[in-house]
Amino acid sequence: MRDRNPAVYAAALALVGLMLGPVVYIILGGFRTNSQITTDPAGLPSPWELGNYTSVLTSDTFWRQVGNSTIAAAATTLGVVTLGVMASYVLARYRFRGRGAMYALFAAGLMFPVTVAITPLYLLVKNLGLVNTLPGVILPQIAFGLPTTIIILVPFLRAIPREIEEAAAIDRCGRLGFFWRMVLPLSVPGLITTGILAFVGSWNSYLLPLFILNDQDTFTLPLGVQAFSSQYSVDTARVLAFTSLSMIPALLFFSLFERRIVGGLTGAVKG
């Protein structure tokens, strides 16, 4: 086995420290008082102050925004995975004129972030009467999540051997039966990967809810953090506690399913 270069490990540790440093600072900052942050911004809590977190956790506004974010993320994930796997199945397993152009169209969707289309998207949502509603956020998020989902799932579905489909046809299993009984179970790693990416992307979404939602009763957590920091701008410790509680669910969700994500993307590349 070749010797490992210590410089590589040092660079990796430095990079990890740069990424985790702000997160650790925000979480620890919530356990401090404003005077501690002012006198020693980089210090540790001494003593540890739990009141910042308890005041946020006992707030009805925080839990209402958690519920809004959960509904938006869950509905977006369900829509992206359901529509994505059906479209990917057609593109991967059926031969028809324009299939390549349709796949290229979905691939081109990766080059157009929501920032580019935010103004016409807002006008469309407004004409549909969905401004200041969660469906006005969920539907565009599903649309913008489909390109990534299809790019990941199509290689999974193409990699399923034709012999399995032929054997299923011999056993009088139709295309829909093959889809439900064989395709979905075999593509579980890809479905999990795309579901996690859709959930985390929706949970952290800020720009689209900023344009669509204008009432604190419908705010998601990213907007709630902004509103809270504006309302309690002089209470830095409490703002840090609110921010850390808002990002912890996404961090835990992503950390628990990290291997699933890597496995799904690896399978997509192999396919």
Q: Which domain holds residue 131?
A: 61-270
Residue 163 lies in a domain: yes
- Asked which of 188-192, 212-216, 247-251 is least confident by mean pLDDT, the reply is 247-251
Residue 247 structure tokens: 């990002």
Residue 172 structure tokens: 């009088």
Q: Quick count: other Cβ atoms within 10 Å of Cβ 222?
A: 21
pLDDT at 269 over 60: no
Strands (E), the chain: none
- Could you tell me if 87 and 150 are in contact, meaning their C-beta atoms sit under 8 angstroms apart? yes
User: What stretch of H or E contains 8?
Assistant: helix 6-29
Residue 232 lies in a domain: yes
The DSSP letter of residue 109 is G
Tell me which range, 45-49, 63-67, 108-112, 163-167, is most confidently predicted by mean pLDDT: 63-67
Q: What pLDDT, on the 0 to 100 scale, is given for residue 65?
A: 93
Residue 15 lies in a domain: no
**Distance (Å, whole) CA 244 – CA 26:** 6
pLDDT at 259 over 70: no
Residue 72 lies in a domain: yes
Mean pLDDT, rounded, for 73-90: 93
Q: Please report, for the domain that includes residue 132, its CATH number.
A: 1.10.3720.10
Residue 199 lies in a domain: yes
pLDDT at 265 over 70: no
Residue 46 lies in a domain: no
Q: What pLDDT, on the 0 to 100 scale, is given for residue 127?
A: 93
pLDDT digits (tens, 9 = 90+) for 97-107: 888 888 888 88
| Higher-confidence position of 206 and 271 | 206
**Distance (Å, whole) CA 160 – CA 152:** 14
pTM over 0.95: no
Residue 47 lies in a domain: no
**Total domains present in the chain:** 1
Residue 89 lies in a domain: yes
